[in-house]
Amino acid sequence: MTNKIKAYKKKFDYSYTSGVYATIELIKIRPEIVDAVYIHTAYRDNDELTALCEARSIPYVYSDKAFSIANQKENSYVLGVFHKYVSVLASDQPHIILVNPSDMGNLGTIIRTIAGLGIKNVGVIEPAADIWNPKTIRASMGALFHIRHESFNSFEAYSGQYPDHRIFLFMLGGTVLAEDCPPCRQFSLVFGNEATGLDERFMHVGQSVKIPQSSCVDSFNLAVAVGIGVYVFARKNRLV
Protein backbone atom coordinates (compact mmCIF):
# COMPACT_ATOMS: atom_id res chain seq x y z
CA MET A 1 0.00 0.00 0.00
CA THR A 2 2.93 2.38 0.49
CA ASN A 3 3.33 2.76 -3.26
CA LYS A 4 0.09 4.81 -3.18
CA ILE A 5 1.53 7.33 -0.71
CA LYS A 6 3.01 10.51 -2.12
CA ALA A 7 4.01 13.88 -0.69
CA TYR A 8 0.76 15.86 -0.53
CA LYS A 9 -0.23 18.23 -3.33
CA LYS A 10 -3.30 20.45 -3.46
CA LYS A 11 -4.45 18.93 -6.76
CA PHE A 12 -4.87 15.49 -5.18
CA ASP A 13 -8.40 14.27 -4.45
CA TYR A 14 -7.15 12.85 -1.16
CA SER A 15 -5.19 14.09 1.84
CA TYR A 16 -3.66 12.89 5.11
CA THR A 17 -4.18 13.31 8.81
CA SER A 18 -0.82 13.50 10.55
CA GLY A 19 -0.75 12.38 14.16
CA VAL A 20 -2.75 10.13 16.43
CA TYR A 21 -5.42 12.55 17.66
CA ALA A 22 -6.37 13.97 14.26
CA THR A 23 -6.54 10.47 12.78
CA ILE A 24 -8.77 9.19 15.57
CA GLU A 25 -11.09 12.19 15.08
CA LEU A 26 -11.24 11.40 11.35
CA ILE A 27 -12.10 7.76 12.00
CA LYS A 28 -14.76 8.57 14.60
CA ILE A 29 -16.50 11.34 12.65
CA ARG A 30 -16.06 10.40 8.97
CA PRO A 31 -15.09 6.71 8.74
CA GLU A 32 -16.67 6.40 5.30
CA ILE A 33 -13.99 8.59 3.67
CA VAL A 34 -10.97 6.83 5.20
CA ASP A 35 -8.92 4.80 2.73
CA ALA A 36 -6.27 3.43 5.10
CA VAL A 37 -4.31 4.13 8.26
CA TYR A 38 -0.54 3.80 8.42
CA ILE A 39 1.16 3.19 11.77
CA HIS A 40 4.86 3.70 12.47
CA THR A 41 6.59 0.79 14.17
CA ALA A 42 7.80 3.18 16.90
CA TYR A 43 4.20 3.81 17.98
CA ARG A 44 3.30 1.68 20.97
CA ASP A 45 -0.06 2.85 22.34
CA ASN A 46 -2.08 1.56 19.40
CA ASP A 47 -4.87 -0.50 20.98
CA GLU A 48 -7.56 2.18 20.65
CA LEU A 49 -6.49 3.05 17.11
CA THR A 50 -6.45 -0.49 15.75
CA ALA A 51 -9.73 -1.30 17.55
CA LEU A 52 -11.38 1.71 15.89
CA CYS A 53 -10.09 0.65 12.49
CA GLU A 54 -11.29 -2.92 12.93
CA ALA A 55 -14.73 -1.80 14.17
CA ARG A 56 -15.17 0.33 11.05
CA SER A 57 -13.50 -2.07 8.60
CA ILE A 58 -10.69 0.38 7.85
CA PRO A 59 -7.44 -1.26 6.73
CA TYR A 60 -4.30 -0.40 8.69
CA VAL A 61 -0.69 -1.30 8.05
CA TYR A 62 2.56 -0.89 9.93
CA SER A 63 5.00 0.93 7.68
CA ASP A 64 7.84 3.34 8.40
CA LYS A 65 8.41 3.98 4.69
CA ALA A 66 5.00 5.65 4.27
CA PHE A 67 6.00 8.42 6.67
CA SER A 68 9.20 9.29 4.84
CA ILE A 69 7.43 9.28 1.48
CA ALA A 70 4.70 11.60 2.79
CA ASN A 71 7.33 13.93 4.34
CA GLN A 72 5.89 13.57 7.82
CA LYS A 73 7.62 14.96 10.90
CA GLU A 74 9.61 12.64 13.12
CA ASN A 75 7.04 12.93 15.92
CA SER A 76 4.19 11.78 13.68
CA TYR A 77 3.54 8.07 14.15
CA VAL A 78 0.09 7.74 12.60
CA LEU A 79 -1.03 8.71 9.12
CA GLY A 80 -4.64 8.57 7.94
CA VAL A 81 -5.38 8.65 4.21
CA PHE A 82 -8.81 9.99 3.30
CA HIS A 83 -10.77 11.24 0.31
CA LYS A 84 -11.65 14.93 0.15
CA TYR A 85 -15.37 15.65 0.23
CA VAL A 86 -17.77 18.42 -0.74
CA SER A 87 -18.82 20.68 2.12
CA VAL A 88 -21.16 23.69 2.18
CA LEU A 89 -22.11 26.10 4.95
CA ALA A 90 -25.37 25.74 6.87
CA SER A 91 -27.52 28.71 5.86
CA ASP A 92 -29.31 28.93 9.23
CA GLN A 93 -26.17 28.98 11.40
CA PRO A 94 -23.45 31.56 12.17
CA HIS A 95 -20.45 31.77 9.82
CA ILE A 96 -16.81 32.73 10.22
CA ILE A 97 -15.45 34.19 6.97
CA LEU A 98 -11.69 34.40 6.38
CA VAL A 99 -10.57 36.64 3.52
CA ASN A 100 -7.36 35.32 1.94
CA PRO A 101 -5.80 33.63 5.00
CA SER A 102 -2.27 32.64 4.03
CA ASP A 103 -0.92 30.60 6.94
CA MET A 104 -1.96 26.95 7.29
CA GLY A 105 -1.11 26.90 11.00
CA ASN A 106 -3.34 29.90 11.63
CA LEU A 107 -6.14 28.38 9.55
CA GLY A 108 -6.02 25.11 11.47
CA THR A 109 -5.87 26.87 14.83
CA ILE A 110 -8.87 29.02 13.87
CA ILE A 111 -10.88 25.93 12.91
CA ARG A 112 -10.08 24.29 16.24
CA THR A 113 -10.96 27.46 18.16
CA ILE A 114 -14.32 28.12 16.52
CA ALA A 115 -15.36 24.48 16.86
CA GLY A 116 -14.58 24.74 20.58
CA LEU A 117 -16.75 27.86 20.80
CA GLY A 118 -19.76 26.26 19.17
CA ILE A 119 -19.48 27.65 15.64
CA LYS A 120 -19.39 24.96 12.97
CA ASN A 121 -19.15 26.92 9.68
CA VAL A 122 -16.11 28.58 8.12
CA GLY A 123 -15.96 30.17 4.69
CA VAL A 124 -12.63 30.89 2.99
CA ILE A 125 -12.22 33.55 0.32
CA GLU A 126 -9.62 32.53 -2.28
CA PRO A 127 -6.73 32.81 -2.80
CA ALA A 128 -6.04 31.20 0.54
CA ALA A 129 -4.10 28.59 2.43
CA ASP A 130 -5.15 25.04 1.58
CA ILE A 131 -7.71 23.84 4.11
CA TRP A 132 -7.02 20.21 3.11
CA ASN A 133 -3.26 20.41 3.61
CA PRO A 134 -2.04 17.99 6.30
CA LYS A 135 -0.43 20.96 8.11
CA THR A 136 -3.83 22.67 8.38
CA ILE A 137 -5.52 19.49 9.56
CA ARG A 138 -2.80 18.80 12.12
CA ALA A 139 -3.09 22.36 13.50
CA SER A 140 -6.85 21.87 13.79
CA MET A 141 -6.30 18.67 15.81
CA GLY A 142 -8.94 17.01 13.64
CA ALA A 143 -11.56 19.71 14.33
CA LEU A 144 -11.83 20.16 10.56
CA PHE A 145 -14.01 17.05 10.47
CA HIS A 146 -16.45 18.58 12.98
CA ILE A 147 -17.25 21.66 10.89
CA ARG A 148 -18.66 22.69 7.53
CA HIS A 149 -16.36 24.65 5.25
CA GLU A 150 -16.73 26.22 1.84
CA SER A 151 -14.44 28.19 -0.49
CA PHE A 152 -15.48 31.22 -2.54
CA ASN A 153 -13.82 33.10 -5.39
CA SER A 154 -14.74 36.45 -3.82
CA PHE A 155 -16.49 37.95 -0.83
CA GLU A 156 -19.31 39.01 -3.15
CA ALA A 157 -19.80 35.37 -4.13
CA TYR A 158 -20.17 34.47 -0.46
CA SER A 159 -22.56 37.31 0.45
CA GLY A 160 -24.67 36.66 -2.64
CA GLN A 161 -25.07 33.01 -1.66
CA TYR A 162 -25.94 33.78 1.97
CA PRO A 163 -27.79 37.13 1.83
CA ASP A 164 -29.70 36.69 5.10
CA HIS A 165 -26.63 36.82 7.34
CA ARG A 166 -25.84 40.01 9.23
CA ILE A 167 -22.20 40.88 8.50
CA PHE A 168 -19.72 42.07 11.13
CA LEU A 169 -16.29 43.08 9.83
CA PHE A 170 -13.33 43.01 12.20
CA MET A 171 -11.11 45.96 11.31
CA LEU A 172 -8.55 48.15 13.07
CA GLY A 173 -10.72 51.15 12.17
CA GLY A 174 -13.94 49.51 13.31
CA THR A 175 -16.60 51.82 14.69
CA VAL A 176 -18.22 49.51 17.27
CA LEU A 177 -16.68 47.37 19.99
CA ALA A 178 -17.32 43.65 19.60
CA GLU A 179 -19.05 43.44 22.98
CA ASP A 180 -21.47 46.21 21.97
CA CYS A 181 -22.80 44.37 18.91
CA PRO A 182 -26.37 43.11 19.25
CA PRO A 183 -27.13 39.41 19.48
CA CYS A 184 -28.54 37.82 16.35
CA ARG A 185 -29.21 34.31 15.12
CA GLN A 186 -27.58 34.45 11.69
CA PHE A 187 -24.33 36.39 11.72
CA SER A 188 -21.11 36.35 9.73
CA LEU A 189 -17.86 37.43 11.38
CA VAL A 190 -15.40 38.52 8.70
CA PHE A 191 -11.62 38.68 9.18
CA GLY A 192 -8.86 39.74 6.80
CA ASN A 193 -5.53 38.04 6.24
CA GLU A 194 -2.42 38.08 8.40
CA ALA A 195 -0.62 40.86 6.53
CA THR A 196 -3.20 43.45 5.51
CA GLY A 197 -6.47 42.71 7.28
CA LEU A 198 -9.60 44.00 5.53
CA ASP A 199 -9.24 46.94 3.18
CA GLU A 200 -11.49 50.00 3.20
CA ARG A 201 -13.94 48.67 0.62
CA PHE A 202 -15.35 46.34 3.27
CA MET A 203 -16.56 49.30 5.36
CA HIS A 204 -19.64 49.47 3.15
CA VAL A 205 -20.74 45.83 3.28
CA GLY A 206 -21.56 45.48 6.97
CA GLN A 207 -20.95 46.70 10.50
CA SER A 208 -17.27 47.39 11.18
CA VAL A 209 -16.11 46.02 14.54
CA LYS A 210 -12.95 46.54 16.56
CA ILE A 211 -11.21 44.72 19.37
CA PRO A 212 -9.67 47.13 21.88
CA GLN A 213 -5.91 46.83 22.29
CA SER A 214 -3.04 48.71 23.88
CA SER A 215 -0.49 50.78 21.99
CA CYS A 216 2.17 48.13 22.62
CA VAL A 217 1.21 46.24 19.45
CA ASP A 218 -0.05 47.28 16.03
CA SER A 219 -2.48 44.37 15.72
CA PHE A 220 -3.34 40.92 17.01
CA ASN A 221 -2.30 37.69 15.33
CA LEU A 222 -5.16 36.53 13.08
CA ALA A 223 -5.87 33.38 15.06
CA VAL A 224 -5.91 35.38 18.31
CA ALA A 225 -8.22 38.05 16.85
CA VAL A 226 -10.63 35.38 15.61
CA GLY A 227 -10.56 33.68 19.00
CA ILE A 228 -11.41 36.92 20.83
CA GLY A 229 -14.12 37.96 18.37
CA VAL A 230 -15.77 34.56 18.21
CA TYR A 231 -15.72 34.20 22.00
CA VAL A 232 -17.56 37.51 22.43
CA PHE A 233 -20.21 36.62 19.85
CA ALA A 234 -20.54 33.03 21.04
CA ARG A 235 -21.22 34.17 24.61
CA LYS A 236 -23.54 36.96 23.50
CA ASN A 237 -25.58 34.51 21.42
CA ARG A 238 -25.40 31.71 24.00
CA LEU A 239 -23.55 29.26 21.77
CA VAL A 240 -21.33 28.12 24.65
Beta strands across the sheet bearing 14-18? 14-18, 78-83, 34-39, 60-62
Query: Along the 240 residues of the chain, how does pLDDT read in single tens digits?
Result: 445 789 999 999 999 999 999 999 999 999 999 999 999 999 988 889 999 999 999 999 999 999 888 876 668 899 999 999 999 999 999 999 999 999 999 999 999 999 999 999 999 999 999 999 999 999 999 999 999 999 999 999 999 999 999 999 999 888 899 999 989 989 999 999 988 899 888 888 999 999 988 888 877 899 999 999 999 999 998 887
CA–CA separation, 172 vs 209, rounded Å? 8
| Domain ranges, ordered by start, for the chain | 13-83, 95-236
Q: Are 74 and 167 in contact (CB under 8 A)?
A: no
8 forms beta bridges with none
At the topology level, CATH places domain 13-83 in 60s Ribosomal Protein L30; Chain: A; (3.30.1330)
Reported pTM: 0.93
pLDDT at 1: 47
Q: Are 153 and 124 in contact (CB under 8 A)?
A: no
In CATH, the architecture of 95-236 is: 3-Layer(aba) Sandwich (3.40)
Whether the upstream peptide bond of residue 127 has omega within 30° of 0, thus cis, is yes
DSSP letters, 189-207, are EEE-BTTTB--GGGGGSSE
